[in-house]
């Protein structure tokens, strides 16, 4: 008879980049085996978890049972592919086969009987329902909205104490749903048994648990050992009342790297990008009271101007730059997003959800100086300040410039200039810089430790940047798996995680520790 407190095996299904695994190990529990059909994911996971046994197999046909070989299984973490549940998919047809992946958890649980199962997915999984097949592409289609949530209820019933009909359907299956059941893998493969687990789920925000991202996901804790299901208590709060405030994005950004001036690019930025930057500056830089577009003389200080309309408060980072004066230079920074319709975010907020595609976040840095220092600046500095004003007036100049609802006009660099932008506190806008967030910043933004290597796989092959970003975007936030596992399985603790030691080869052929 197995000892209830004996440590059994710990596994990671759909292991991907290893976010769940590193979180579990940060709590102090070794991950014994991991499964994924993707070779790149397995090699990446293997590089960072070399003592874990890896299976590069389809999750439904994986021989997990052969590896377990009758041994006790204490914990399984499972994060099935979320892309065909996510609302980010839009109107793109969904694939029924991908949407069935949660049932791989049921299939293996029926064979290896893990005591605790933790799952993670997008919140939309709770609306899981049949799809109406497209005639031209069988197996793909759009969700049947009138049946929203019926497949999710069926899955919960199978995992827990649900009432099933002899063929595996849940007892209250709507008549409209029955026409889909014959094609359903659950019915076709004879999944007619309820496993009897206790099941509970919640939507949790990673920022509430110390991660520098507001990534919100559905989590489930499913257990058969009759211990209580526990949810971790938040460690941080949005407003910082009673708990430390959310960890800001600024904590994971290289704020000294401004990138290139938007006015020095050989290829102009896309119109939508320019508009997003301008609207972000309006919200995060032109703060408090109304700024001014003012007329100046090169050698004089005769300021007169006109209003440009309201903006909102911002954060200021003081840095010595040497462009005008190391004592008077200030940098206003915010993040702009290149997806959805938002204009960006403050760097004092946690990073918004990281997607699987590169180039979705950009750091905008706006250089400013005080008016007195500006009056002593050379012509090149004055000319760039004039370009900034031209740029801003294109988007929200009052009587001059143009509406943001109209097509953009070309921003022209002129030899003659007379306009600059002055903030309410007397500072002058000098330049605007933009760069994309680096892979390392995105990695830290999703909560991975600095020592975690996603640039190379276990064979020392470099992973393409696009693939690195995709793996980060799909990854479980480590602090979430750590918090959930520590709350529910404190008895599994072994020892603190040992940081991963990276070895790199220098140009002279020698190896060094990073």
- Residue 297 pLDDT: 34
Cα 14 to Cα 4: distance, rounded to the nearest angstrom: 27
- Residue 186 pLDDT: 66
Tokens of 204: 């949790």
410 and 498 share one domain: no
CB 417, CB 389: distance < 8 Å: no
Cα 190 to Cα 485: distance, rounded to the nearest angstrom: 32
234 and 104 share one domain: yes
CB 424, CB 290: distance < 8 Å: yes
Cα 480 to Cα 76: distance, rounded to the nearest angstrom: 15
State the maximum Cα–Cα separation within the chain, in Å, rounded to a whole number.
Answer: 90
244 and 260 share one domain: no
Closest CA to 76 of 208, 177, 193, 223: 223
Q: Which residues contact 302 (CB under 8 A, 6 or more apart)?
A: 295, 296
Q: Phi and psi at residue 263, in whole multiples of 5°?
A: -95, -5
CB 469, CB 358: distance < 8 Å: yes
Query: What total of structural domains would you count in the chain?
Result: 2
Burial of 379 (0-12, 13-18, 19+ CB in 10 A): exposed
Measured in Å, how far apart are the chain's first and last C-alpha atoms? Answer: 46
Query: Can you give 361-418 as a three-state secondary structure string?
Result: EEEEEEEEEEHHHHCCCCHHHHHHHHHHHHHHHHHHCCCCCCCCCCCCCCCCCCCCCC
353 and 465 share one domain: no
Give domain status of residue 304, yes or no.
yes
DSSP reduced 3-state for 164: strand
221 and 332 share one domain: no
206 and 81 share one domain: yes
Residue 388: how many other CB atoms lie within 10 Å: 24
Last-in-domain residue among 405, 437, 469:
437
Last-in-domain residue among 437, 461, 495:
437
Q: Phi and psi at residue 351, in whole multiples of 5°?
A: -65, 135
127 and 190 share one domain: yes
- Residue 321 pLDDT: 20
CB 283, CB 411: distance < 8 Å: no
71 and 143 share one domain: yes
- Residue 428 pLDDT: 77
pLDDT along the chain (514 residues), means of 10: 74 93 96 94 93 92 92 96 74 76 91 97 89 74 83 90 74 70 64 89 96 93 96 94 91 85 85 80 63 37 27 21 37 74 77 75 80 66 75 58 34 39 69 86 91 87 88 92 98 83 57 50
Domain that holds residue 505: 9-248+450-513
Give domain status of residue 2, yes or no.
no
374 and 506 share one domain: no
- Residue 204 pLDDT: 97
50 and 160 share one domain: yes
**Radius of gyration (C-alpha) of the chain in whole angstroms:** 27
Q: Measured at the alpha carbon of residue 70, what is the angle toward residues 64 and 71, in degrees to the nearest 5?
A: 90
Give domain status of residue 444, yes or no.
no
Give domain status of residue 445, yes or no.
no
CB 181, CB 187: distance < 8 Å: yes
Cα 452 to Cα 444: distance, rounded to the nearest angstrom: 9
Please tell me the pTM assigned to this model: 0.80
- Residue 119 pLDDT: 97
Residue 119 belongs to domain with CATH number? 3.40.50.150
CB 484, CB 223: distance < 8 Å: no
97 and 156 share one domain: yes
Cα 194 to Cα 434: distance, rounded to the nearest angstrom: 54
Last-in-domain residue among 414, 437, 460:
437
Tokens of 181: 């059941």
CB 109, CB 220: distance < 8 Å: no
Give domain status of residue 443, yes or no.
no
159 and 138 share one domain: yes
Closest CA to 16 of 356, 307, 254, 292: 356
Q: Measured at the alpha carbon of residue 19, what is the angle toward residues 57 and 206, in degrees to the nearest 5?
A: 135
């Amino acid at each position: 008879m197995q000892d209830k407190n004996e440590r059994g095996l710990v596994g990671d299904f759909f292991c991907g980049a290893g976010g769940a695994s590193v979180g579990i190990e940060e709590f102090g529990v070794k991950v014994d085996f991991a499964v994924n059909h993707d070779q790149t994911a397995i090699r990446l996971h293997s590089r960072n978890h070399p003592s874990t046994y890896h299976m590069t197999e389809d999750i439904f046909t994986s021989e997990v049972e052969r590896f377990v070989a009758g041994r006790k299984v204490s914990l399984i973490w499972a994060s099935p592919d979320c892309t065909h549940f996510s609302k980010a998919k839009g109107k793109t047809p969904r694939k029924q086969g991908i949407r069935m992946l949660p049932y791989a958890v049921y299939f293996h649980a029926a064979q290896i009987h893990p005591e605790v199962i933790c799952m993670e997915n997008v919140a939309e999984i709770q609306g899981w329902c049949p799809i109406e097949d497209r005639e031209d592409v069988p197996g793909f289609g759009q969700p049947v909205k009138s049946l929203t949530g019926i497949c999710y209820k069926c899955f919960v019933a199978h995992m827990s104490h649900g009432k099933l009909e002899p063929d595996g359907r849940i007892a209250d299956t709507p008549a409209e749903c029955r026409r889909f059941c014959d094609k359903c893998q659950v019915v076709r493969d004879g999944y007619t048994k309820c496993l009897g687990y206790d099941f509970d789920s919640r939507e949790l925000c990673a920022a509430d648990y110390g991660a520098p991202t507001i990534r919100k996901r559905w989590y489930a804790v499913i257990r058969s050992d009759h211990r209580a299901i526990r949810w971790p208590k938040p460690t941080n709060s949005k407003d910082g009342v009673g708990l430390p405030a959310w960890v800001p994005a600024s904590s994971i950004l290289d704020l000294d790297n401004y990138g290139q001036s938007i006015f020095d690019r050989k290829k102009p930025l896309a119109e939508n990008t320019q508009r997003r930057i301008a609207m972000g500056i309006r919200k995060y830089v032109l703060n408090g009271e109304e700024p001014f577009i003012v007329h100046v003389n090169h050698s004089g200080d005769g300021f007169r101007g006109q209003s440009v309309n309201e903006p909102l408060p911002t954060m200021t980072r003081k840095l010595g730059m040497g462009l005008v004066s190391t004592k008077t230079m200030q940098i206003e920074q915010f993040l702009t997003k290149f997806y959805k319709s938002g204009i960006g975010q403050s760097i004092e907020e946690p990073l918004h959800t990281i997607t699987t595609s590169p180039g979705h976040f950009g750091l905008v840095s706006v250089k400013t100086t005080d008016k007195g220092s500006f009056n002593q600046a050379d012509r090149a500095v004055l000319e760039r300040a004039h370009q900034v004003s031209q740029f801003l007036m294109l988007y929200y100049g009052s009587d001059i410039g143009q509406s943001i609802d109209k097509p953009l006009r070309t921003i022209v660099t002129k030899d003659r200039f007379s306009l600059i932008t002055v903030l309410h506190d007397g500072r002058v806008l000098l330049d605007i810089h933009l760069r994309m967030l680096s892979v390392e910043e995105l990695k830290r933004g999703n909560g991975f430790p600095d020592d975690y290597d996603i640039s190379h796989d276990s064979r020392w092959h470099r992973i393409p940047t696009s693939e690195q970003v995709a793996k980060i975007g799909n990854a479980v936030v480590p602090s979430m798996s750590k918090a959930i596992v520590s709350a529910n399985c404190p008895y599994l603790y072994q020892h603190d995680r040992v940081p991963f030691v990276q070895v790199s080869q220098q140009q002279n052929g020698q190896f060094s520790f990073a």
